[in-house]
């Protein structure tokens, strides 16, 4: 799928339609991991906003910081990691300053997270009970009322025979059904913000399409906002209003999806879109073997301190200054920014 095809799938997003007050406001979020006697920066001054009813896509290769961003927002990082600075304001409250009891009130009820791996489901509990417990933890309702609401929700997300599904254990369901259960757990309380970390990556095309359709309907019906993480430009093209492109722990490009996909500014964004699946994307070697498009080289070693741009070794537009100077985030318009030295004098 080429850039034009990706753009044609995307919804039209006008930044002037965005409410003045953000639902989520992240500023200079920085996180570090400890590896034996060394530490490295996994997130480096990450800043972005999410408006009510907005779907923000996060795009990038594995290891770029997408999942660390998601876990940092709800303070779910492993013991080997910590947030070292920054702020995460949700509806005016800084989540990084809340105590654990205050955070429990936010998690699930106001902000929910969907993981890629449905293996997080408790294998010894019926899936209906798993979802009902989330509902009853945040809302006053009887067991019967909870069951009725959960079964109705199962039907809404495409789980037929919802009464039978309610009584099933995870091992009795398919992978796609288990992923829908995990999504039901996250959405049953109708949170204001949902963090979706590659929720369709391991699903077949039909199931993934159904889930993406449900996400869009939920956004339209209840003004729910999403931070939708994916390594696949085509997935985000069908759902996102705005795109954050991440590389080596930083946001290197930010803007409305249709503009970023039709006119990418950062060389890394350009390379990612060129690697998106498309019928004519293959080249042939001298021996006649097909060669898939790829970004040459590897991401930088996180333990290595870089003097210049983290993408310079792989960049087709590399300049001499890129090896010695770190680019800042540059606003190229009221709704777009890019972290690239090519734009510093504009």
Q: What are the tens digits of pLDDT across the range 122-160? A: 899 999 999 999 999 888 899 999 999 999 999 988 888
Q: Tell me the pTM.
A: 0.86
Q: Where do the structural domains in the chain lie, given as residue ranges?
A: 3-121+189-259, 122-188, 264-343
Q: What does the alpha-carbon distance between residue 42 and residue 299 come to, in Å, rounded to a whole number?
A: 13
- Per the CB < 8 A criterion, the answer to whether 176 and 207 are in contact is yes
**pLDDT tens-place string over residues 200-224:** 887 888 888 888 888 888 888 888 9
Question: CA nearest 249: which of 24, 22, 28?
Answer: 28
Q: Mind listing the pLDDT tens digit for each residue in 20-50?
A: 478 999 999 999 999 888 999 999 999 999 9
pLDDT digits (tens, 9 = 90+) for 296-313: 888 999 888 888 999 999
List own/partner pairs for 287-296 with CB under 8 A and 24 or more apart.
Answer: 295/61, 295/268, 295/271
From 218, 202, 252, select the one nearest 58 (Cα to Cα): 252
pLDDT at 61 over 60: yes
Side by side, which strands form the sheet with 225-230?
111-114, 193-197, 225-230, 55-59, 242-247, 250-256, 336-338, 330-333
pLDDT of 232-273, one tens digit each?
A: 999 999 999 999 999 999 999 999 999 999 999 999 999 999
Give burial (CB, 10 Å; 0-12/13-18/19+) of 257: buried
Provide the pLDDT for residue 211: 85
pLDDT for 344 equals 81
Which burial class, exposed, middle or buried, applies to 127 when counting CB atoms under 10 A from its CB (0-12, 13-18, 19+)?
buried
Find residue 338's DSSP bridge partners: 253, 330
Question: What are the angstrom distances between the C-alpha of 195 and each of 28, 37, 149, 200?
Answer: 19, 32, 22, 13
Residue 50, SS3 per DSSP: strand
CA dist list (Å): 128 to 2, 32, 102, 343: 42, 38, 27, 53
Report the alpha-carbon distance of residue 244 to residue 88 in Å, rounded: 17
pLDDT of residue 9: 43
Residues 73 and 112: beta-carbon distance below 8 Å: no
Q: Which two tokens stand for residue 214?
A: 């449900």
CB-CB neighbours of 181 under 10 Å: 25
Residue 2: predicted pLDDT: 46
Per-residue confidence (pLDDT) for residue 217, from 0 to 100: 87
Helix extents (H) in the chain: 3-9, 66-73, 100-106, 127-138, 143-156, 162-167, 175-187, 205-222, 233-237, 257-262, 267-274
Residue for token pair 């429990």: 104
At what angle are helices 175-187 and 127-138 packed, to 10 degrees? 10
Helix (H) or strand (E) holding 247: strand 242-247
Architecture of the structural domain at 3-121+189-259: 3-Layer(aba) Sandwich (3.40)
């Amino acid at each position: 799928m080429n850039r034009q095809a990706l753009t044609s799938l995307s919804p039209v997003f006008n930044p002037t339609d965005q409410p003045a007050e953000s639902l989520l406001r992240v500023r200079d979020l920085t996180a570090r991991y400890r590896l034996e006697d060394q530490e490295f920066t996994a997130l480096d001054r990450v800043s972005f906003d999410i408006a009510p009813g907005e779907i923000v896509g996060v795009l990038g290769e594995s290891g770029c910081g997408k999942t660390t961003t998601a876990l940092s927002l709800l303070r779910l990082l492993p013991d080997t990691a910590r947030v070292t600075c920054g702020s995460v304001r949700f509806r005016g409250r800084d989540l990084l300053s809340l105590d654990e009891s205050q955070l429990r009130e936010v998690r699930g009820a106001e902000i929910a997270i969907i993981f890629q791996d449905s293996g997080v489901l408790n294998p010894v509990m019926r899936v209906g009970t798993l979802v009902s417990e989330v509902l009853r933890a945040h809302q006053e309702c009887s067991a019967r009322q909870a069951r009725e609401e959960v079964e109705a929700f199962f039907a809404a997300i495409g789980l037929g025979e919802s009464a039978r599904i309610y009584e099933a254990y995870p091992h009795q369901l398919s992978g796609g059904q288990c992923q829908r259960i995990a999504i039901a757990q996250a959405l049953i309380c109708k949170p204001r913000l949902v963090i979706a970390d590659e929720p369709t990556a391991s699903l077949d095309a039909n199931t993934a399409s159904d889930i993406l359709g449900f996400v869009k309907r939920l956004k339209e019906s209840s003004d729910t906002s999403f931070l939708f993480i994916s390594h696949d430009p085509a997935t985000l093209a069908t759902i996102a209003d705005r795109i954050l492109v991440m590389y080596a722990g930083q946001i290197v490009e930010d803007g409305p999806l249709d503009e970023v996909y039709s006119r990418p500014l950062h060389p890394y964004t350009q390379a990612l879109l060129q690697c998106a699946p498309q019928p004519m994307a293959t080249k042939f070697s001298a021996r006649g073997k097909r060669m898939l498009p790829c970004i040459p080289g590897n991401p930088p070693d996180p333990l290595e301190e870089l003097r210049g741009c983290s993408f310079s070794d792989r960049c087709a537009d590399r300049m001499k200054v890129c090896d010695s100077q770190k680019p800042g985030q540059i606003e190229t318009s009221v709704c777009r920014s890019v972290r690239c030295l090519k734009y510093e004098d504009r």
